[in-house]
Amino acid sequence: MNTNNPLSNNTFRKLFTAQIIALVGTGLSTIGLSLLAYDMAGSNVGAVLGIALACKMIAYIFFSPIIGGLVHRFARKQFMIIMDVSRALIVLFMPFVNEIWHIYLLIFLLNLFSAGFKPVFQAVIPDILNDDKQYGKALSYSRLAYDLEVLLSPTLAGIALLYFSFSSLFVLNSFAFIVSALIIIITLVPKAKPVERTGSAWNEITYGVISYFKTPRLRAILVLYIGIASASSMIIVNTVVYVKDYLGAFDNTTVAIFFALSGLGSMIAAFIYPIISTRIEDKIVIQSGIFIIALSLAFMSLEPSFIPALICWFFTGMGLSFSQIPVGKIVNMSSNPKDRTAYFSAQFALSHICWFFGYLAAGQLALIFGFSFTASFLASIIAICLIYSVLFWPNEESSILKHAHSELIHTHSHLHEDEHHKHTHQLENNNENHEHKHKHASVTHEHPFYIDIHHQNWPKG
């Protein structure tokens, strides 16, 4: 088997399988939720689903940084298993709801546990795949898994609904989470490296977000996510509006075709990315993706006819994929391996803030001002985000930066495995994780740079 293929790694192969199963199960539950909401709310189903989606985003935004800051206190493997089992139990309650607010509560709780699982899962992958090419392909596979969920879930749901009620979709989702947990149980997940932190629990919770904002390339990524969320929200929220109200196609099949073309564009980009990433740096790939979605939304504002609109949706999906796949590599190169989960959790929470406002903007602007204005307005926002990244994303050939340290004396848990802790003492645990007051001399040197306990500010120049 090709050693550059991440699937040649047994641990990744198992975790990737667990991811696909859980994603498809979640897709089934999403369809079941739509049917349940319609059964309970009738013509008000859109409002119910909108609030449910907001509950999902709130769970992601607030809970993810908490997990990122504190999960180092727990074993990651056991934590992911608990998250999967908890999600399985929550989903099983869905068929028994009899009030609208029950839906909101269960959706919030379900995504509370998803907000715990997903960033930890993302942070584990770089620990498994140290090779940059393998990791890049793994990110492409992960993107393909999300697109595959969009394609597979409706098909499986349709088959299930031929024989069972929509409540069966929740049962299938619960089963999928249990299977995912069982796969993780038999998977050898590497232990997280001990973190080097000081301060209270609140300092730990906010550590990832604060470090994220101190990193120039990550600030640029976050601004670009405003553009990504704008385009993604335009597709998710307004496709049905455009197809039915502007194209006059009243059948649901046409709506499905538009979503499928967007998904196809995304999947093709995911297949292409491992090839182009060997020739083009990730910064250019991301910015090219943003440029594509800006042009696509500008073309949408012209309210194209059926075939040109399909092409537009296809390129939007492609641009969204190119702009998101390399982000995991950027976050990974920007974080100390010991703090990786905190950074991925910050990325997860902050990007979902962008989606939260993106959903609101796409829906309300189209309702008040119409589709054409909304597409052109969001295209302008995306263009501004692209210009920001061109101006303020540093031109860095590598993560190795020259920087200076002032003399520092402090106390924290540490090992003697890096150049910041090359000291000796008489403790028996000299080569194990331990804590004591120690001194760092004033020095100017260079190495892979990231914000951590020893590097509180980005080097100037």
Count of other CB atoms within 10 angstroms of residue 305: 10
Residue 415 lies in a domain: no
CA pair distance 197, 204, nearest whole angstrom:
7
**What is the helix (H) or strand (E) element at residue 448, kind and residue range?**
strand 443-448
Measured between its terminal Cα atoms, the distance across the chain in Å is 45
Q: Considering 192, 224, 247, which residue would you say is the last residue of a domain?
A: 192
CA pair distance 143, 24, nearest whole angstrom:
13
Q: Are residues 37 and 167 in the same domain?
A: yes
CA pair distance 56, 26, nearest whole angstrom:
13
pLDDT confidence bin for 318, thresholds 50/70/90: very high
Q: What are phi and psi of 211, to 5 degrees?
A: -65, -40
CA 113-210-195 angle, to 5 degrees, is 70
Q: What's the rounded mean pLDDT across residues 164-181?
A: 87
Which CATH number covers residue 97? 1.20.1250.20
Q: What's the rounded mean pLDDT across residues 183-195?
A: 81
In the block, tokens 């594509």 appear at 292
pTM of the model: 0.79
Domain that holds residue 57: 7-192
Q: Are residues 106 and 26 in the same domain?
A: yes
Q: What's the rounded mean pLDDT across residues 102-107?
A: 87
CA pair distance 149, 87, nearest whole angstrom:
18
pLDDT of residue 280: 92
Judge whether residue 368 has pLDDT over 70: yes
Q: Considering 134, 157, 192, which residue would you say is the last residue of a domain?
A: 192
Q: Are residues 161 and 226 in the same domain?
A: no
Amino acid letter, 353: I
Percent of the chain surpassing pLDDT 70: 77
pLDDT of residue 337: 76
Mean pLDDT comparison of 108-122, 340-354, 364-378, 392-406, highest-scoring range: 364-378
pLDDT of residue 412: 58
Mean pLDDT comparison of 139-143, 165-169, 326-330, highest-scoring range: 326-330
In the block, tokens 């040649």 appear at 8
pLDDT of residue 166: 75
Q: Are residues 83 and 34 in the same domain?
A: yes
The per-residue pLDDT for range 395-443, each reduced to its tens digit, is 876 667 676 666 666 555 656 666 655 666 655 555 566 666 666 666 6
Q: Are residues 174 and 239 in the same domain?
A: no
Residue 424 lies in a domain: no
Residue 333 structure tokens: 């190169």
Which letter does DSSP use for residue 103 in this model?
H
Pairing of strands 443-448, 400-405: antiparallel
Judge whether residue 389 has pLDDT over 90: yes
In the block, tokens 């969009």 appear at 150
pLDDT of residue 417: 61
CA pair distance 326, 286, nearest whole angstrom:
7
pLDDT of residue 445: 64
Distances (CA, A) of 106 to 13, 86, 92, 93, 103: 31, 12, 10, 8, 5
Q: Are residues 127 and 260 in the same domain?
A: no
Residue 461 lies in a domain: no
Q: Are residues 222 and 123 in the same domain?
A: no
Residue 108 structure tokens: 């919030």
Residue 452 structure tokens: 């951590």
* Contact status, residue 100 vs residue 48, Cβ threshold 8 Å: yes
Q: Are residues 279 and 358 in the same domain?
A: yes
Judge whether residue 127 has pLDDT over 90: no
pLDDT of residue 222: 96
Residue 343 lies in a domain: yes
CA pair distance 163, 304, nearest whole angstrom:
40
**Mean pLDDT over the full length of the chain:** 81
Q: Are residues 324 and 360 in the same domain?
A: yes
For the CA atoms of 137, 140, 141, 147, the dihedral, rounded to the nearest 10 degrees, stands at -170
Residue 272 lies in a domain: yes
The per-residue pLDDT for range 54-77, each reduced to its tens digit, is 788 888 888 888 876 666 677 888
Burial level of 293, CB count in 10 A (0-12/13-18/19+)?
Answer: buried
Phi-psi region of 427 (alpha: psi -120 to 50; beta: other; left: phi over 0): beta
Amino acid letter, 158: G
Residue 347 structure tokens: 């990325």
Considering only CA atoms, which of 117, 95, 90 is closest in space to residue 106?
90
Mean pLDDT comparison of 279-293, 413-427, 439-453, highest-scoring range: 279-293
Residue 313 lies in a domain: yes
CA pair distance 379, 373, nearest whole angstrom:
10
Number of domains in the chain: 2
Give every CB contact of residue 249 below 8 A, 6+ residues apart in sequence.
Answer: 243, 255, 306
Residue 320 lies in a domain: yes
Judge whether residue 153 has pLDDT over 70: no
Q: Coil, helix or strand for 339?
A: helix
More confident residue, 349 or 377: 377
Q: What's the rounded mean pLDDT across residues 383-399?
A: 88
CA pair distance 318, 269, nearest whole angstrom:
5
Q: Considering 129, 161, 192, which residue would you say is the last residue of a domain?
A: 192
The per-residue pLDDT for range 24-59, each reduced to its tens digit, is 888 778 777 767 777 777 666 556 766 777 788 888
Considering only CA atoms, which of 347, 341, 65, 58 is closest in space to residue 202?
65
* Contact status, residue 7 vs residue 179, Cβ threshold 8 Å: no
Q: Are residues 155 and 288 in the same domain?
A: no
Q: Are residues 112 and 148 in the same domain?
A: yes
Q: What are phi and psi of 397, to 5 degrees?
A: -75, -25
Count of other CB atoms within 10 angstroms of residue 276: 14
Q: Are residues 156 and 295 in the same domain?
A: no
Q: What's the rounded mean pLDDT across residues 355-361?
A: 86
CA 213-228-30 angle, to 5 degrees, is 110
CA 244-380-325 angle, to 5 degrees, is 80
pLDDT of residue 393: 93
Which letter does DSSP use for residue 93 in this model?
T
The per-residue pLDDT for range 206-253, each reduced to its tens digit, is 887 888 898 899 999 999 999 999 998 888 778 878 887 888 876 667
pLDDT confidence bin for 192, thresholds 50/70/90: low
pLDDT confidence bin for 293, thresholds 50/70/90: very high
Residue 419 lies in a domain: no
pLDDT of residue 81: 93
Determine which of 2-6, 9-13, 420-424 has the lowest per-residue pLDDT on average: 420-424
